[in-house]
Amino acid sequence: MDQTERIIQALDSAGYQATANRRLVAGMVATSGGHFTAADLLERGRRERVNIGRATVFRALELLAELHVIERLDLPSGSHAYVLCDPAEHHHHLVCSGCGRSEDVADGELARLVDEIGQRNGYRIETHRLELFGKCPDCAAGTPPNGAASKASSSAGQRPGGH
Amino acid sequence: MDQTERIIQALDSAGYQATANRRLVAGMVATSGGHFTAADLLERGRRERVNIGRATVFRALELLAELHVIERLDLPSGSHAYVLCDPAEHHHHLVCSGCGRSEDVADGELARLVDEIGQRNGYRIETHRLELFGKCPDCAAGTPPNGAASKASSSAGQRPGGH
DNA sequence: TTATATGCAAACGCTTTGCATCACG
DNA sequence: CGTGATGCAAAGCGTTTGCATATAA
């Protein structure tokens, strides 16, 4: 449920200290509501008057990426962003080009297709990456969620309605 | 066969001058044998003692990308590279993590799969990108093609079984 | 001669690093 | 205490831009 806790948990069980700053980053990541850049977090920190250094943010993101709690996306623009995601299984990302929201997408049939392509070309495939960009239901309907691109602030990730 | 000419052709028919420097870049791109970065071309230019400025290389690459003669790749390492490719149809890239060589891969069934994913999530998909990395037949056989030694050094370090 | 293209170097944005300090275990 | 984490500022890359010069049409 609480994504922030989940992240802190991940840090802890990997043997890293869950320091105040890392908790802070965890919180921002969890409530980002979509993709975000290091600059976004820095900016948000500045706006909320929390004292956190540039290097610390970068180091925290690197750490979380290493733990597969977040993953780096290459946006069509060429810039790098991160998204919170499920560390458990191999998946891809469907990213809203309107509000930045993102969904994890299971690999599914893709594995077979990838395999096939490898065979056809005689390559031994090692990794593959699929990135999907489009408009989420809200943005497609012209009602983008508050704080569009990088801000956003629903406290529970992308699971409206919970359970 | 002459890719260089094809590139020059593309420039010309788009109304751009096929200047000496652009021909030079075209030649390097055509004979790159795989992916390459702006730095690669610069380096190669320096080595071959041709006089071409950094900005010119970047501008030429930007131009060729705009004409869809080359395409930008995001290597797993996060760095940007370009590959020569067919401007005609929507396709993806299969890149050798050993020598950097690259094949165009038709979209094929992927379109359907992408569509399905969009529907399932209620997204209106705008673009998608599939990138495949692995070992080409030669590299897999331990006989990397000549002149490809350090080519994909930046994309190595992949975790084959990984996330 | 007029529009384009080029070189150079400075400017830029993003990310990393060195190092002294600080917090946690 | 000792290791790990942090802040700051400087350094490092890759890329872009301003501007004067050179070249193509």
Between A132 and A151, residue with greater pLDDT? A132
d(C-alpha A47, C-alpha A68), whole Å: 28
Q: Which two tokens stand for residue A135?
A: 């408009």
Q: How far in angstroms lies nucleotide C10's C1' from the CA of residue B55? A: 13
Which pLDDT score is estimated for A8?
Answer: 96
Mean predicted lDDT score pLDDT of chain B: 88
Of A76-80, A110-114, B156-160, the range with the highest mean pLDDT is A110-114
A23 CB inside 7 Å of strand D? no
- Give a three-class secondary structure readout of chain A: CCHHHHHHHHHHHCCCCCCHHHHHHHHHHHCCCCCECHHHHHHHHHHCCCCCCHHHHHHHHHHHHHCCCEEEEECCCCCEEEEECCCCCCEEEEEECCCCCEEEEECCCHHHHHHHHHHHHCCEEEEEEEEEEEECHHHHCCCCCCCCCCCCCCCCCCCCCCC
Rg of chain B over all Cα atoms, to the nearest angstrom: 17
Chain A residues in contact with B105 by the CB 8 A cut-off are 117, 121
Q: Name the residue with tokens 């060729």.
A: B64
The pLDDT > 70 percentage for chain A reads: 88
Which pLDDT score is estimated for A138?
Answer: 94
Which pLDDT score is estimated for B152?
Answer: 44
Nearest CA in chain B to A74: B74
Residue B132 pLDDT greater than 90, yes or no: yes
Which pLDDT score is estimated for B162?
Answer: 36
Q: Which two tokens stand for residue B113?
A: 């799969």
CA distance A134 to chain B (A): 4
CB A61 within 8 A of CB A25: yes
Q: Among A107-116, A117-126, A152-161, B15-24, whose mean pLDDT is lowest?
A: A152-161
Which pLDDT score is estimated for A146?
Answer: 60
Mean predicted lDDT score pLDDT of chain A: 87
Between B95 and B160, residue with greater pLDDT? B95
- Give a three-class secondary structure readout of B106-146: ECCCHHHHHHHHHHHHCCEEEEEEEEEEEECHHHHCCCCCC
Q: Among A54-68, A144-158, B141-155, whose mean pLDDT is lowest?
A: A144-158
Which pLDDT score is estimated for B82?
Answer: 97
Q: Which amino acid is at A146?
A: N
CA distance A131 to chain B (A): 5
Which pLDDT score is estimated for B1?
Answer: 56
The nt closest to B42 (CA vs C1′) is D14
Packing angle, helices B3-13 and B20-30, rounded to 10: 140
The nt closest to B81 (CA vs C1′) is D14
DSSP for B44-69 reads HHHHTT----HHHHHHHHHHHHHTTS
Stretch B75-84: mean pLDDT, rounded? 91
Which pLDDT score is estimated for A70?
Answer: 96
The CATH number, out of the four listed (1.10.10.10, 3.40.50.1700, 3.40.1190.10, 3.30.70.600), of the domain defined by the range B2-152: 1.10.10.10
Measure the CA angle with vertex A70, ends A100 and B104; round to 5°: 75
Stretch A145-155: mean pLDDT, rounded? 44
Stretch B23-36: mean pLDDT, rounded? 95
A143 pLDDT band, cuts 50/70/90, is: confident
Nearest by CB to residue A80, choosing from B78, B130, B132, is B78
A1 pLDDT band, cuts 50/70/90, is: low
The nt closest to A53 (CA vs C1′) is D7
Q: How far in angstroms lies nucleotide C24's C1' from the CA of residue A66? A: 22
Contact A117 B132 (CB under 8 A): yes
Between A75 and A58, residue with greater pLDDT? A58
CB A148 within 8 A of CB A98: yes
Q: CA dihedral in degrees (B143, B145, B146, B151; nearest 10)?
A: -110
Pairing state between β B124-135 and A124-135: antiparallel
B33 pLDDT band, cuts 50/70/90, is: confident
d(C-alpha A16, C-alpha A41), whole Å: 21
Residue A150 pLDDT greater than 60, yes or no: no
Residue A159 pLDDT greater than 60, yes or no: no
CB contact set of A88 (below 8 Å; sequence gap of 6+): none
Stretch B66-80: mean pLDDT, rounded? 92
